[in-house]
Structure 1
């Protein structure tokens, strides 16, 4: 456990607009059987741009609180009950999920649903590896393949043997994703971005049948992984299960590679990087696909993969636009969110370039 009074990596004082009633949370936690001490240090993590994440430490407890942001929310997004249920349901079959403490659906406590879990101690790689974490090329490659092995292991979970079996809606996952994310973009579009109509039309025309149904994370990135402090090539935790569901594994891989910026990408995409995927030793996007296919025994042609690549970037563009929508309409004053508008415009052009190259 980190000592109280120290700043956790990636954390800072709580932004005024994101503050909550600590005493109300303290009383509610006591009712759930967790008694916080008199002095509780609260910090806010700034790495994510969707749900809000806080650290609660009192010397005996090292906890994380997750809650949705203020402002308009896309239908189905920021569902704390669902995010909590997924992690609780995986506890017996996928040991890398954090341990859940309790879920609160009484909005009178802090004005929104939230849940509390134990913090997984370790190193979270963000845009770059933290100072002092010096990995050579072989170690970076080992970390990369170890992380992909975790994704493979997740996809191999027998969902029917978990409480999450009901999340499987059957065939049509790819179709539902294309139509659903297209609707989300149209709902969140602002006047200063493109319309993505060419991209959405191409995805609808070229969508394949589902290749399978398994537990997918839907936001599997290095900055959602916790690495062992003693052996940082080893993954000891997987975080941020907000979008997890039962669906097509190749859609999950495509979503992962939407964030995978490599060393030879253009300047804007390099600036967009949120994880250390340009470090010497990291696999390229094509090497990631090849490794995953080899580990799972699947076969996908380059033409077939193009759909998943475009969808991953399109979905990322929609997420960026949903975040930018809140800034554009004054629902947040966080200036970091201003950059998501240019990102959404760029990702549309990137999708169109990949489509044209085919």
Structure 2
């Protein structure tokens, strides 16, 4: 992981001796002493680097404090990366899951520390211009491979409910938004809560979806344009692959400085594929003729992102936000919501 490391924040400290004792019993070949640092990222679930003389590990845990029902499901993360690892999909090796809150205060799991690079800017400014298209192709190939997997064949046939994905997801995120009264209301989100359920495209598809597929949740090979691990599976489920792909694609509609947006950049000069070419590559890999109602899929994805940021705002107000970057994320809330609403007027397809 190439994420920044910080001293463990006060609200996220735990009994490190208790963790070391648990790891001796549950993690094969573990041997201390153990040193704990916290990754600066991890908006939802606090994430730690565990150093030992022989190897390093990563720990993901539920945050402390009052939590929304169904959120921060580290047990699901553990299950999905275990299943995908057995199928040869690029994920860290999962060592062990602990659901006993008595050990460090909340449930957690321990996984492999994968050597690789994290890129926080989707334009890949740190990559030589000649290589950028290959990095985009690696992302495209990885999400297409995920969507081609048969969930039942990897033991995830019951990982979510098939069918009515958009109805259920819109209802879920609308409910989380409306129920989190401490974070306040956003007019654009109010409008989307009405528009989205009335404009769901026909047709049903079900695949395994990551839920937060973006460049900074990927680890790339130390020197090659190749994805070596997909991280942060908290939002994964069985769902509509086009929702997952559109969430990944939405950076093309975001302006620079707005998250890591690409809209308005000279993509040919940067050797970055156009949105149309990127969509076409995904369609070719997944056997599609194109994506109808791309506007809806992008509006839904941006709405969902705004609802997630709204949840971060609520946790920030409550004092349970797990990332040092939470305040910066919350500053983008209204802009993301407005951009989501703008897609409802775009009427594009690819």
TM-score, length-scaled by structure 1: 0.87
For residue 76 of structure 2, what is the aligned residue in structure 1? 82
1:100-115 residue pairs with structure 2 within 5 A? 100-115=94-109
Say which of 218, 231, 250 aligns to 1:225.
Answer: 218
C-alpha distance in 2 between matches for 1:299 and 1:61: 46
Give the SS at the match of 2:195: helix
- Identify unmatched segments of 5+ residues in structure 2: none
Structure 2 residue corresponding to 1:124, chosen from 118, 127, 130: 118
Q: CA deviation at 1:56?
A: 0.6
Q: State the alpha-carbon separation in 1 of the partners of residues 48 and 153 from structure 2.
A: 32
Shift in CA distance, 98/202, structure 1 to aligned 2, threshold 3 Å? same
Structure 1 distance, partners of 2:168, 2:98, is 30
The alignment covers a number of residue pairs equal to 342
Judged with a 3 Å threshold, the aligned counterparts in structure 2 of structure 1 residues 139 and 191 are, in CA distance, closer, same or farther, namely closer
Q: What secondary structure sits across from 1:166 in the alignment?
A: coil
Offset at residue 183 of structure 1 (A): 0.8
Aligned residue in 2 for 1:329: 318
| Residue in 2 that maps onto 1:291 | 281
Displacement of 1:285 in angstroms is 3.6
State the secondary structure of the residue aligned to 2:169: helix
Distance verdict in 2 for CA 1:256–1:9, change over 3 Å: closer
Closer/same/farther in 2, CA of residues 16 and 36 from structure 1, 3 Å limit: farther
Q: 1:202 to 1:272 in 2, by over 3 A?
A: same
Give the structure 2 partner of residue 41 of structure 1: 35
Matches within 5 A, 1:1-358: 9-34=3-28, 36-127=30-121, 134-190=126-182, 192-195=184-187, 196-231=189-224, 233-258=225-250, 260=251, 265-266=254-255, 270-273=257-260, 280-300=270-290, 304-332=293-321, 336-358=325-347
Cα separation, 2, equivalents of 1:271 and 1:347: 9
More displaced, 309-318 or 244-253? 244-253
Does the Cα contact within 8 Å between 2:117 and 2:222 map onto a contact in 1? yes
Question: Once the 2 structures are TM-superposed, how far is the Cα of residue 78 of structure 1 from its aligned partner?
Answer: 0.6
Q: 2:138, 2:80 → 1: CA distance? A: 23
Q: Distance in 1 between matches of 2:111 and 2:170?
A: 32
Match of 1:5 in 2: none
Structure 1 gap segments, 5+ residues each: 3-7
Following superposition, the deviation at residue 212 of structure 1 comes to 1.4
1:247 to partner: Cα distance:
1.2
Tell me how large the CA RMSD over aligned residues is. Answer: 2.6
Q: Which has the higher contact order (CA 8 A, sep 6+)?
A: 2
1:65–1:114 CA contact under 8 A, matched in 2: yes
Preserved CA contact (<8 Å) 1:174 1:209:
no
**What is the deviation of 1:211?**
3.8
Is the Cα contact below 8 Å between 1:64 and 1:119 reproduced in 2? yes
193-202 or 115-124, which deviates more: 193-202
Q: Secondary structure at the match of 1:165?
A: coil
Residues in 1 aligned to 2:184 and 2:71: alpha-carbon distance in whole angstroms:
23
Structure 1 residue 16: Cα displacement: 1.7
Q: Distance in 2 between matches of 1:112 and 1:174?
A: 31
Q: Deviations for 1:168-215, whole angstroms, at most 9, x for unmatched residues? A: 422211211111111111122446541422112111100123441111
